[in-house]
Each structure stands twice: as C-alpha cells, then as structure tokens.
Amino acid sequence: MIPANAFINQSINDKNVQFYKEYGFLIAPNALTQAEIASLNKDVVEILSGKRGEIEGLRHLSENQKPTYVQNHVQKNENDFIRQYTAIHFPHKLSALIKDFAKHPKIVNVLSEIVSKNVKCLQSMFFVKAPGKKGQAWHQDEYFIPTRDKSLTGAWLALDDANEENGCLWLIPGSHEDGIIRQRVKNDNTHFADTEVADITPFEQKDFVKVEIKKGAIVYFNGYLLHMSLQNQSHSSFRRALVFHYSSAETMLPWNLDGRIPNTQDNRDIFMVTGVDPYAYKGTCELAKPFIRADVLDFRV
Ligand SMILES: O=C(O)CCC(=O)C(=O)O
C-alpha cells in the first residue's frame, strides 16, 4: 500500500514535501483533464506521422498505413500506426503544446516545493509503449543526466491507465537517499529493453512499489530513485506517458546526451519553467534533436 502522504490532493502540502524528501516520490491523481490527455495523444500521432518534420529513427509508412483525420479526429489506423514505437525523445522540440505542458501550473507548483524556486526543464520523452514493447530496466535517471546535486526530478504524466499488465512504473521508495550512483551490470531479464541494469542490492522484491495509476495522474520522482517498468503484456492496451526531467536552475549540467553531443561543462539546451536563470548570461541553444527510442537500449555513459 502506498502511504497517504505520497498523494497530492489539490495542491502539495508540508507532509507531501516531507514524504518526498524521505521516499523520493509523490503521486498527484487527477492532475490532467481528459481534454488535456486527448490533446497530447493527438499531437504525438501527428509527430510520429512525420507531419512535424524528420525525426531520427522514424519508420516511413505508405499512405494507406498512415492515420487519417476527419474534422480533427483520428479516423483510422491510429493504433496500428503508433504501435511500432516505444518512445520518442525530446518531443517538445516538435510540439509547442508539449513544451507548454512542461510549464503546466500544477507541475510548476509542485516543482517549486520539491526542487527549487528556480527550475529548468532538461528533456522530454513520450512513451507510446504499445502492447508487446519492453520496459526499461532498473535505473537512476541521475546516471544518465548528471546534475549530481540531487535536484534532478522526473514528472511522469499518465496518458493511459497504467497497471502491471501494460507495464506501469515500479520504484523503490527511499532508494535515492544515500546519493550513490549504483553499479550497472549485465541485464538478462527479458522484460527489459536494456543491455545493462542497475545493481539494486540490498533491495528485494518486498521493497518494490508498483505504481498503478489512472490516466491523468502525475508521478514525481527524484533522479537518484531506482525505478523500472516491465514489458507491456496486454493485448491491446497502450501505456502512454509523457515524461519531463527538471533540475534546479542553479545546477551546472555537464550532460552530453549519452554521447550524442560533444562533452560540455554546462548543457544550455534547457528552458526555464519557473523563477530566475542564474546563467541567463550564457544564453540557451539547441543541441538535442528528437529521436525515436531504439528497441534495444545500449546506454553507456
Ligand atoms: O515509463 C517507463 O517505462 C520508464 C520511464 C523512466 O524510466 C523515466 O521516466 O525515467
């Protein structure tokens, strides 16, 4: 059972903030409206149909495989069309709507309490996670995105009901606390797309929390928190989710996007979501390009 203080009702309170410090996560049920969810899902169909420009890894389809629209509603093929994808990285670079959601007042309100008064957004990911697609092995986001000041925070927006069968998030409460980046070892769990997995010792099955949530909920979690998701084993249930990663604006961010860009002391491909940017004098720039997540993940940073 997830303790009551993990749940944000209406707006974040002191008990939520204390819970986040101790356990490294929070859940805000019913944070998004049905209309907001529908608008995000529709936007991603457009992105993946190539209407917003070329994306690395996009699979080109013949005209009759593409989704068709009638009066702005997807008329056919939407599910067939998106089912080939697990996720797209940096969709906010192709969608003003998605970028706006990163600054959603409900999200900013929470981040101001658990991250800093000054918060920047570092990346977005849209998970389609069609039936059959694999999950992501136990990991800490901080391993990939090096803030190293413990301010890295994910906001995971559920755009479908997420449950064990369709590959919801699992996490280990409190695993962020020692501030250690865990050793990564070879993965042999066929549920995971990754070649490597974080060594979660000394945690065991009894420490795992399954985050089964309704669409519209938002899960917040610390960048050092161990989390994973299993394969989508349902026949027809997608497990869509939009994820943003944020840090305090004070953080210098030596993130080379897993080797996609040259090493940098401070990656300025960011945008502010609240407060003041102490490094505004450096300006910002475009470094990351949107790309489709590979079916096998071989990240070594
Ligand atoms: O949604 C998933 O399957 C994995 C998400 C994740 O690992 C993350 O957002 O950091």
- The pLDDT score that the predictor gives to residue 54 is 80
8 A C-beta contact, residue 158 and residue 30: no
Dihedral angle at the C-alpha atoms of 185, 193, 142, 242, nearest 10 degrees?
-170
- Give 139's strand partners: 227
Instruction: Compute, in angstroms, the gap from residue 63 CA to the centroid of ligand 1.
Output: 32
Q: Whose CA is nearest to atom 9 of ligand 1?
A: 243
CATH number of this structure's domain 4-292, picked from the four choices 2.60.120.620, 3.10.20.310, 1.10.1040.10, 3.30.565.10: 2.60.120.620
Give distance in angstroms: CA of 77 to centre of ligand 1: 26
CA of 278 to the centre of ligand 1 (A): 29
Alpha carbon distance 149, 268 (integer Å): 17
- Does any ligand 1 atom lie closer than 6 A to the CB of residue 290? no
Residue 127 CB–ligand 1 contact under 6 Å = yes
Measured from the CB, is residue 227 less than 6 Å from ligand 1? yes
Q: Can you list the residues of the chain whose pLDDT is less than 50? A: 70-75, 301
Q: To which residue do tokens 């210098």 refer?
A: 252
Ligand 1 centroid from CA 64, angstroms: 32
At 92 the three-state DSSP class reads: helix
From the CB of 136, is ligand 1 less than 6 Å away? yes
The conformation of residue 282, written as its DSSP 8-state character, comes to G
Q: Under a CB-based contact definition with an 8 Å cutoff, are residues 103 and 155 in contact?
A: no
Q: Are 82 and 45 in contact (CB under 8 A)?
A: yes
d(CA 197, CA 189): 9
Ligand 1 mean position, distance from CA 169 (Å)? 7
Task: Say what the pLDDT of residue 15 is.
Answer: 98
Write down the pLDDT at residue 63. 61
At 151, is the secondary structure helix, strand, or coil?
coil
Amino acid letter at 69? Y
Does the C-beta of 242 come closer than 6 Å to ligand 1? no
What is the number of the ligand 1 atom nearest to the C-alpha of 139?
Answer: 7
- Distance in angstroms (rounded) separating the CA atoms of residues 144 and 96: 25
Closest atom of ligand 1 to 125 CA is: 9
Q: What is the pLDDT of residues 109-133, one digit of tens each?
A: 999 999 999 999 999 999 999 999 9
Q: Which amino acid is at 119?
A: V
Read off the pTM: 0.93
246 lines ligand 1 (CB under 6 A): no
List, for residues 52-90, the tens digit of each pLDDT value. Answer: 888 998 876 666 565 555 444 444 566 667 888 889 999
Exposure string of 179-208, with b = 16+ CB inside 10 Å and e = fewer, is eeebebeebeeebbbbebbbebeeeeeeeb
Q: Is the CB of 138 under 6 A from ligand 1?
A: no
Q: Three-state SS string across 196-207, please?
A: EEECCCCCCHHH
Distance from Cα 217 to the centre of ligand 1, integer Å:
15
pLDDT at 284: 98
- Distance (angstroms) between ligand 1 centre and the Cα of 135 equals 8
What does the block give as tokens for 74? 């997807």
pLDDT value at residue 109 = 98
